[in-house]
Amino acid sequence: MIRRLLVLVAVLGVVAGAAFWWLTMPQRLAPAALAGPAPNVENGKLVFAAGGCASCHVTEGQPDRTRMGGGHGLKSPFGTFYAPNISPHPERGIGRWSEADFANAMLKGVSPAGEHYYPAFPYTSYQRMTVSDVRDLFAYMKTLPADATANRPHDLPFPFTVRRGLGLWKLAFLDGEPFRPDPSKPAAWNRGAYLVEGPGHCAECHSPRAFTGAITADRRFAGGPNPEGAGWVPNITPHRDGIASWSADDIASFLADGFTPGGDSTGGAMASVIRNTSQLSEADRAAMAAYLKALPAREGRAPPRR
């Protein structure tokens, strides 16, 4: 009897293990997905700005926003993540990566060795990007200076150190859907939606998160506690808790110069975002503003009073 039970437990264990292994298996792009004309480096530079890669990956402690040596620490409730070196350095950076390696990182959150990335790398938004933008971005990044900064390991407690477990998280929270334009909406709205939801990854900071670390869907863009610790990230929906009083022009101008309609200069993480959005075209900033103005007004939880 006991022996049968043990066998059963062992069998169940193997089945569970196999299921875990199968469920957490990294998904990759089909190689054919990458076909296309020669990449456009100029557009890649704009995608780089829209994606805000410099905000996290710039070599820590120096001002040059094209040196992608990494080292910036991102605090989270799970531990501290350190952005890696993504400069074209052959050993320390991603200089030996193929275009497919890069596209799988950006769109699937999978490393060349087949490991899952932590969603501190906001591929939950980047998965919406078009393959052609990702190819252009990679071509542009190859033109940046190589930087020899060594990667710093993340500071995480067990079990968050087990990357394979992220497969389950991805299964639950990563839909793998590219951005799909809505033909019933104006072109500017669609362009704005793409920039905000995809490369701009605005929701990653401007939304509250559940204990799992996933964004609370019905509060998307409605603000929440700063994931990096102290303070509050504001509601950017057209709700009175948010930016209902801002005109589309106010928002577009804010993305260029960082001044709120009240004359305050934005700070914290947003100052770094503005350094990126200020490099986009006026039309792209206006498109982002049009999309934000058209979001459903969502109530944000009131920030705690001091």
The Cα-based distances of 25 to 28, 175, 192 in angstroms read 10, 15, 33
In whole angstroms, how close is the CB of 16 to another protein at the nearest point?
44
Quote the crossing angle between the two packed helices 268-277 and 41-51, to the nearest 10°.
Answer: 160
By beta-carbon proximity to another protein, the closer residue of 28 and 75 is 75
CA distance 41 to 289: 26
* Kind and range of the H or E run holding 74: strand 73-76
Tell me which residues in 101-120 interact with ligand HEC (CB under 6 A).
102, 105, 111, 117-118, 120
Q: Assess 45 for contact with ligand HEC (CB under 6 A).
A: no
Listed residue (107, 112, 111, 110) closest to 131, CA to CA: 107
- Chain contacts with another protein (rule: CB under 8 A): 226, 230-232, 234, 249, 253, 256-259, 261-268, 271, 303-306
Q: Assess 121 for contact with ligand HEC (CB under 6 A).
A: yes
Tell me which residues in 12-41 interact with ligand HEC (CB under 6 A).
none
Q: Assess 254 for contact with ligand HEC (CB under 6 A).
A: yes
Binding at 84: pick from another protein, ligand HEC, none (beta carbon under 5-8 Å per type): ligand HEC
Binding at 297: pick from ligand HEC, another protein, none (beta carbon under 5-8 Å per type): none
Q: What's the length of the chain?
A: 306
In whole angstroms, how close is the CB of 180 to another protein at the nearest point?
34
By beta-carbon proximity to another protein, the closer residue of 113 and 230 is 230
Give 108-115's long-range contacts (Cβ < 8 A, gap of 24+): 108/26, 108/27, 108/28, 108/29, 108/176, 109/166, 109/170, 109/174, 110/26, 110/27, 110/28, 114/26, 115/26, 115/163, 115/164
Q: Which of 13, 268, 283, 302 binds ligand HEC (CB under 6 A)?
A: 268
Tell me the torsion sign for CA atoms 272, 234, 120, 203. negative
CA distance 298 to 214: 18
Tell me the one-letter amino acid at 201: H
Q: Which of 39, 122, 198, 238 binds ligand HEC (CB under 6 A)?
A: 122
The Cα-based distances of 241 to 80, 145, 225, 268 in angstroms read 31, 43, 14, 20
By beta-carbon proximity to ligand HEC, the closer residue of 39 and 51 is 51
Q: Assess 69 for contact with ligand HEC (CB under 6 A).
A: no
Residues that bind ligand HEC (CB under 6 A): 51-53, 55-57, 74, 81, 83-84, 86, 94, 102, 105, 111, 117-118, 120-122, 137, 196, 200-202, 204-206, 233-234, 236, 243, 251, 254, 260, 263-270, 273, 277, 288
